[in-house]
Chain A
Amino acid sequence: MALLRRQLAEEREDTGALLELRDVAKEFLTRRQRTKAIDHISMRVQNGEFVCIVGPSGCGKSTLLNIVAGLEHPSAGRVLFDGRPIVRPGAERVVVFQEPALYPWLNVRANVEMGLKIAGRNGADRKRLAERYIELVNLKRFSKAYMHELSGGMRQRVQLARALAVEPRMLLMDEPFAALDAQTRDVLQQELQEIWARTGATVLFVTHNVREAAILGDRVFVMTPAPGRLKREIGVDLPRPRSPDSHAVVDLAARIRAELEHDIYAVPSPEDSYAI
């Protein structure tokens, strides 16, 4: 508690970035051993950027996202959001989860309104904003539907609308399309590009899908496992909207894949324990 209060009281630091991670590490204590999930993570995200983190499962990319979300706390290093340390989850950093984290007793509109209700907005405001974002994700016809009546892709759209409705300063997306079929994923990737262009949101997007990272990112961080480290940063200045089959995207995806493969087959250094 004392630590928390001290951190809250800390002065705002001018970092010149919306999000800054400085040498962040996270260790998990299992029964017998200490496992480093991520280590030496440093990165900056500017306002309005779309940043992807791509890596194999178990590389710690979700841990990294959870730390930014405030759902987990780093064992070492500093995480600054708008110059202030992140101490807890907050509506300025909303997460879109891989699993449909929606409430089955509420219909689409009430689900989208949930974040606004938490923020204490009045009924008229909630309705207006919810309707705007439901329309943005093309679910207008389904605003009265309940979750079990929707397909996987539609549920992820509801999650996206719910996150956007609170107008967060940063959208954290944790493999949101990983559980969807390939066609639905293609459609949603295109829609997300449009929505991003229209809302100007700042996005931190975690995925294991190299092509997804190539389609969506302004910058792509390649993350390698055991312990999770950011191995390479790739700037992407391809025109948008990017099609999944364009040569440039396919080439870039191949480049990212080559970076990853090199490391997946590499022998880990003996002092690091496996996190998988």
Chain B
Amino acid sequence: MPFRVLRVVLFYLALLGLWQVVAMLHVWPKYVLPPPNEVWDSFWTYLRSGRITDAVEISMRRLLIGYFIGLVAGVLIGMAMANWKWVDETLGSAVLGLQSLPSVTWVPLAVIWFGINDKAIIFVVVMGSVASIAISARSGMQQMPPIYKRAALTMGASRLQTARYVQLPALLPSMTQGLKLGWSFAWRSLMAAELIVATVSLGQLLDLGRSLNDMSLVLAVMLVIVAIGLFVDFLVFGRIERFVQERWGLAT
């Protein structure tokens, strides 16, 4: 374990070193490729002024609300698609179409419908994540051993009880990838929406960096996003994966 941690630390130090060296060679001017220390300065300045923490708080709240709605709706839609053929043929085709639509295309509509506010952005996040979660839930239902449902039925379970007690938890192993995919789609949608709908947020900080030609701010915000992504992956999705491995006995 300590060696593996060391290896990861060394990797990032090397990456940082390479970046610093390239920046110091002045191949590109500083405003095109700022060196790491300037990015750090920029990060520190904006962190101390509270703008980064504010932005993270607001963006995360939108992301979590949007993802949660997308998750609940996606799982319900996916289960319905697997359960009733007519839902699959009607709503299912719409969901497939939705998945091929970049979520940023919803922004103009969202602004007209909801105005320049949280609701518009949350709506875009939902539209960006719901389709991939629904599709993953449907395929999870189809891969599920049919004996799970039969066993529940012979114990007298209703359709709703079967869905709640058996099919929903049984979806977990096949849906771990789908949940992650939905999360990353939610992030993308959030950033796209926030870059356009200018309110205090991470996306707005990015846009600010662009208008000030301040690439060190842009890079600082990007690094914050990456850090949040890794943190959530480790804390939430890593835990789900470990739980599945433990319970289903897939651990090596």
Chain B residues, Cβ within 8 Å of A101: 147-148, 150-151
**Alpha-carbon distance A148/B148, docked complex (angstroms):** 15
Pair A103/B169 contact, Cβ less than 8 Å:
yes
Chain A residues, Cβ within 8 Å of B248: 104-105, 148
User: Contact partner of A105 among B153, B157, B172, CB < 8 A?
Assistant: B172
User: Contact partner of A146 among B153, B156, B249, CB < 8 A?
Assistant: B249
Closest approach, in angstroms, between the C-beta of B120 and any C-beta of chain A? Answer: 38
Pair A94/B247 contact, Cβ less than 8 Å:
no
On whether A118 and B155 interact (CB within 8 A), knowing A99-B147, A105-B170, A147-B249, the answer reads yes
Please name the residue on chain B nearest to A117 by beta carbon.
B165
Please name the residue on chain B nearest to A111 by beta carbon.
B151
**Alpha-carbon distance A87/B154, docked complex (angstroms):** 12
**Alpha-carbon distance A99/B150, docked complex (angstroms):** 12
On whether A119 and B156 interact (CB within 8 A), knowing A103-B170, A146-B247, A149-B249, the answer reads yes
Closest approach, in angstroms, between the C-beta of A4 and any C-beta of chain B? Answer: 15
Pair B150/A97 contact, Cβ less than 8 Å:
yes
Closest approach, in angstroms, between the C-beta of A259 and any C-beta of chain B? Answer: 30
Q: Interface digits, A128-170 against B, CB 8 Å rule (1 contact, 0 not)?
A: 0000000000000000001111000000000000110010000
**Alpha-carbon distance A163/B157, docked complex (angstroms):** 13
Pair A95/B249 contact, Cβ less than 8 Å:
no
Chain B residues, Cβ within 8 Å of A99: 147
Closest approach, in angstroms, between the C-beta of B84 and any C-beta of chain A? Answer: 16
A89 within 8 A of B: yes
Instruction: State which size class the interface on B falls in.
Output: 20 to 34
Q: Interface digits, A233-251 against B, CB 8 Å rule (1 contact, 0 not)?
A: 0000000000000000000
Chain B residues, Cβ within 8 Å of A163: 155
Chain B residues, Cβ within 8 Å of A172: 154
Pair A89/B154 contact, Cβ less than 8 Å:
yes
| CB neighbors of A among B197-244 (8 A) | none
Pair A103/B249 contact, Cβ less than 8 Å:
no
| CB neighbors of A among B45-75 (8 A) | none
**Alpha-carbon distance A71/B152, docked complex (angstroms):** 11
**Alpha-carbon distance A257/B109, docked complex (angstroms):** 75
Q: Interface digits, A83-94 against B, CB 8 Å rule (1 contact, 0 not)?
A: 000000111111
| CB neighbors of A among B153-181 (8 A) | 153-157, 161, 165-166, 169-170, 172
User: Contact partner of A148 among B153, B166, B170, B249, CB < 8 A?
Assistant: B249
Chain B residues, Cβ within 8 Å of A91: 154-156
A228 within 8 A of B: no
Please name the residue on chain B nearest to A107 by beta carbon.
B247
On whether A166 and B249 interact (CB within 8 A), knowing A101-B147, A101-B150, A103-B148, the answer reads no
Chain A residues, Cβ within 8 Å of B157: 118
Closest approach, in angstroms, between the C-beta of A72 and any C-beta of chain B? Answer: 11
Pair B147/A114 contact, Cβ less than 8 Å:
no
Chain A residues, Cβ within 8 Å of B147: 97, 99, 101
**Alpha-carbon distance A118/B166, docked complex (angstroms):** 11
**Alpha-carbon distance A94/B172, docked complex (angstroms):** 27
Pair B148/A166 contact, Cβ less than 8 Å:
no
Which of A102, A148, A166 has the most chain B CB atoms inside 10 A of its CB? A148
User: Contact partner of B247 among A69, A105, A119, A166, CB < 8 A?
Assistant: A105
A115 within 8 A of B: yes
Known: A95-B150, A162-B155, A163-B155. 13 other contacts (CB 8 A): A70-B154, A89-B154, A91-B155, A94-B155, A97-B147, A103-B170, A114-B155, A118-B157, A118-B165, A119-B155, A119-B156, A147-B249, A172-B154
What are 20 inter-chain pairs, A to B, with CB distance below 8 A?
A: A70-B153, A71-B150, A89-B156, A90-B156, A91-B155, A92-B156, A97-B150, A99-B147, A101-B148, A101-B150, A103-B169, A103-B170, A105-B170, A105-B172, A115-B156, A118-B155, A118-B157, A118-B165, A162-B155, A172-B154
